[in-house]
Amino acid sequence: MSKVSNFELRISIFFIIMADTISRNVPLDKIRNIGIIAHIDAGKTTTTERILYYTGKSYKIGEVHEGAAVMDWMDQERERGITIVSAATTTFWGDHRINIIDTPGHVDFTAEVERSLRVLDGAVTVLDAEEGVQSQSETVWRQADKYNVPRICFINKMDKLGADFEKTIQSIINKLGANPIVLGFPIGSEQDFRGIYQILEQKSYIWSGEELGAKFDVRDEIPAGMEETIKKYREQLIEKIAETDDVLLDKYLKGEAIPDEELKKALRAAVIAYKVVPIFAGSSLRNKGVQPLLDAVVDYLPSPVDLDEVKGINPKTGAEEVRKLVPEESFTGFAFKVQIDPHVGKITYVRVYSGQINSGSYAYNSTKDIRERAGRLLLMHANQREEIKEAYSGEIVAVVGLKDTSTGDTLCDESKPIILEKISFPEPVISLAIEPKTKSDQEKLGLALKKLMDEDPTFSVKMDHETGQTIISGVGELQLEVKVETMKREFGVQANVGAPQVAYKETISQAAQAEGKYIRQTGGRGQYGHCFLRIAPLGRGEGFEFVNAIKGGSIPSEFIPSVEKGVRETLEKGVLLGYPVTDLKVTLYDGTYHDVDSSDIAFKIAGSMAFQSAAKKAGLKLLEPIMKVEVTTPEEFMGTVIGDLSSKRAQILGTEERGNVRIILASVPLSELSGYATTLRSMSQGRAIPYVEPSHYEEVPNNIVQAMLAKSTFTGRITAQ
């Protein structure tokens, strides 16, 4: 047994490298761009805080429960004990530079995870050893699948009562469909958890001292009583790695010994190709298992060199463009996050894929076809900033001075334009009315809402001209609550807020057609617009499609956009109950015009009239958002919880057993879930926990539509079909 000074060695290397951070001359193959992703309360931020401490970035460990986490820098994050916005930082482990983004776990802030994964090369998924794979774990895993992000799993909280490593592995296979490969096996569990056994290196890492986990013992022997288990996992490890490499598979089938270096090299290639997912264990809160995780990030997650290239579209020709991820290429960057800083102004986070960008230089926004000046470049450490002169391929930096660039825009060299794949975000499902308390608040409200919309693509604002109210919308009540609080704290806006309202939609159930004719004769020149529209339903979630089928010039081409504009405006206002109409195709197929009296406004009104008339014949239906609900409850309250859910028009999808609790899975209309968390707490003595996320839209039952129509004051309402 030898006392290792691994930590001190890495810290000394760190300080040598830090002397050169101004130039940041780290080879591309030694850069890792990673995100920490997981379900809420799995321990993402706690794990990130340990990484910052062991890499020397922080001189002390910041605890989430004490409101002192470095990465949770917002006052609201510290008060609530949750992550609200993704935070970026740069640190060093050995001679490798690691750019880390710590993401939120709460579903209301899923946009932060989405845009982070879009620009990351690899991710660490943190799982709770007692809870296993939870709902938001599945959601973020699917998001990572969408962008082909290689992952490592860190099974955290091995010291927690009920921690079960092998059961969690099974839930990774069953729920995520992944191919796990165990590299770090826990030594003990619950209160007996003391370290991990590194199966590939065949060494035990034991944390026994009180040095905040900075020091640990490395032993060559397998802990007593674990010999058979370790032998089984070692055989599995070799077999799974060999299956990913033809040369190693040949050796394995011949019974030849495979050197660890060859196994490690093949394993790295398999992880980058997303054939396997390495599994490690630990307890971040108890400072155990984080250093081997850092080694794994360096050893197995990809560098920009491994990913080789990024593809996009040339905006001028429509042809595919390819950029090598090297500094010698022309500049290509992707704006993935906008943040409004009270001191600096608008900060745009940019992943530099190729080439370099200099402070004070101009970049071409190919998405919007404009030139933007990058006034200053900043390296971010949560909300702390370090000014730099240039940023190279592989880096994630913040740019000050980009006035019109928003989330999802591509920045590039104007002589070599390229547009990279954009980011898709979930639609808002809940809204509330907001009004300023005083006249001075009214002036500030518009500015505050504009800035919040710039920051968050899932947050939208619209004016209800009939009531004069401002309506804000988002993906969850917590998100809107945070936005209102942010307006108060950061922008000084005092506002009255209405009760949350469900974001219903309208659609049609059958095809129909109608005529719209608008004729007005005054003393002089009149107005004349006349069109025929055909409407047909589309599949759920397909949105709106406008087709111009005019032949022979029956309507001049300059008036066709006016018809479409009239239709779109009516779609927004709704026909049945004033909610937006969606999932339909509108075809303009005939019409007439007048040489003198026809105008844009006349055809716009005619288009609106024709659409309303057709919609009323097409079997209008109301759609409501359905939420995926997962309730974790002790067994004695299970019947009560299911009964309450059934009374809310819930569809019970099934139940699961996890340790000594039961998980109830259900689909429930959002309109039935107002105040559900409080109701659930009262019926379960505070012991049941709900998890709610948007799922899909479904038709509202006719009896409920009739009741809503009876209460409605909407001027455009008609009898339900």
Instruction: Quote the tokens at residue 75.
Output: 């006052």
pLDDT at 71: 46
Amino acid at 632: T
Separation of first and last alpha carbons in the chain: 80
Residue 604 confidence (pLDDT) above 90: yes
How far apart are the C-alpha atoms of 153 and 300, rounded to whole Å? 12
Residue 76 confidence (pLDDT) above 60: no
Could you tell me the pLDDT band of residue 211, with boundaries at 50, 70 and 90?
low
* Cα separations in angstroms, 262 against 114, 150, 615, 690, 698: 35, 20, 66, 47, 53
Do 535 and 611 meet the contact criterion of CB atoms below 8 Å apart? yes
pLDDT at 422: 86
**What strand order describes the sheet that includes 87-93?**
87-93, 96-102, 31-38, 122-128, 151-156, 277-281, 180-182
Find residue 515's DSSP bridge partners: 532
For residue 213, the tally of other CB atoms under 10 A from its CB is: 22
Q: What is the pLDDT of residues 7-19, one digit of tens each?
A: 443 433 333 333 3
Could you tell me the pLDDT band of residue 51, with boundaries at 50, 70 and 90?
confident
Mean pLDDT of 626-645: 90
How far apart are the C-alpha atoms of 27 and 23, rounded to whole Å? 12
Mean pLDDT of 164-181: 91
Could you tell me the pLDDT band of residue 22, with boundaries at 50, 70 and 90?
very low
Query: Which secondary-structure segment (H or E) carries 570?
Result: helix 560-573
Instruction: Name every residue whose Cβ is closer than 8 Å to that of residue 453 and which is 6 or more positions away in sequence.
Output: 459, 460, 461
Mean pLDDT of 258-271: 92
Could you tell me the pLDDT band of residue 333, with boundaries at 50, 70 and 90?
very high
Amino acid at 274: Y
How far apart are the C-alpha atoms of 453 and 84, rounded to whole Å? 15
DSSP state of 114: H
Sign of CA dihedral 14, 15, 21, 24: negative
How far apart are the C-alpha atoms of 504 and 224, rounded to whole Å? 61
Instruction: Quote the tokens at residue 16.
Output: 């040598």
Mean pLDDT of 427-445: 82
Could you tell me the pLDDT band of residue 397, with boundaries at 50, 70 and 90?
confident
**Range in 82-96, 283-297, 310-324 the model is least confident about:** 82-96
pLDDT at 92: 87
How far apart are the C-alpha atoms of 100 and 679, rounded to whole Å? 38
Could you tell me the pLDDT band of residue 514, with boundaries at 50, 70 and 90?
very high
- Coil vs helix vs strand at 656: strand
pLDDT at 718: 40
How far apart are the C-alpha atoms of 357 and 443, rounded to whole Å? 37
pLDDT at 266: 93
Mean pLDDT of 286-298: 91
- Domains, the chain: 2-307 (3.40.50.300), 309-420 (2.40.30.10), 431-498 (3.30.70.870), 506-618 (3.30.230.10), 623-706 (3.30.70.240)
* Cα separations in angstroms, 398 against 166, 295, 340, 451: 41, 27, 12, 17
Amino acid at 11: I
How far apart are the C-alpha atoms of 469 and 642, rounded to whole Å? 38
Alpha-carbon torsion, ordered 258, 264, 266, 272, to 10 deg: 170
pLDDT at 673: 87
pLDDT at 241: 92
Do 397 and 386 meet the contact criterion of CB atoms below 8 Å apart? no
* Cα separations in angstroms, 54 against 10, 203, 264, 295: 9, 20, 24, 12
Instruction: Name every residue whose Cβ is closer than 8 Å to that of residue 122 and which is 6 or more positions away in sequence.
Output: 32, 33, 34, 35, 149, 150, 151, 152, 297, 301, 302
The angle at the Cα of 123, spanning 311 to 62, to the nearest 5 degrees, equals 135
Q: Which residue is it, tokens 């401002």? A: 470
DSSP state of 177: -
pLDDT at 155: 95
Nearest to 335 by CA among 67, 535, 119: 119
DSSP state of 27: -
Could you tell me the pLDDT band of residue 116, with boundaries at 50, 70 and 90?
confident
Q: Which tops the pLDDT comparison, 455 or 75?
A: 455
Q: Is beta strand 495-497 parallel, antiparallel or unpaired with respect to 505-508?
A: unpaired
pLDDT at 465: 65
b/e string for 53-80 if b means 16 or more Cβ within 10 A? bbbbbbeebbebeeeebbbbebebbbeb
How far apart are the C-alpha atoms of 96 and 93, rounded to whole Å? 5
Do 140 and 168 meet the contact criterion of CB atoms below 8 Å apart? no
Cβ-in-10-Å burial (0-12, 13-18, 19+) of 655 comes to: middle
For residue 546, the tally of other CB atoms under 10 A from its CB is: 19
**Alpha helix positions (H), 574-689:** 600-617, 638-646, 676-683
Classify the phi-psi angles of 587: left when phi > 0, otherwise alpha if psi is within -120 to 50, otherwise beta. beta
How far apart are the C-alpha atoms of 372 and 363, rounded to whole Å? 5
Residue 224 confidence (pLDDT) above 50: yes
How far apart are the C-alpha atoms of 62 and 90, rounded to whole Å? 17
Alpha-carbon torsion, ordered 43, 46, 50, 53, to 10 deg: 160
* Cα separations in angstroms, 320 against 304, 312, 334, 421, 613: 20, 6, 17, 11, 44
How far apart are the C-alpha atoms of 622 and 620, rounded to whole Å? 7
DSSP state of 70: S
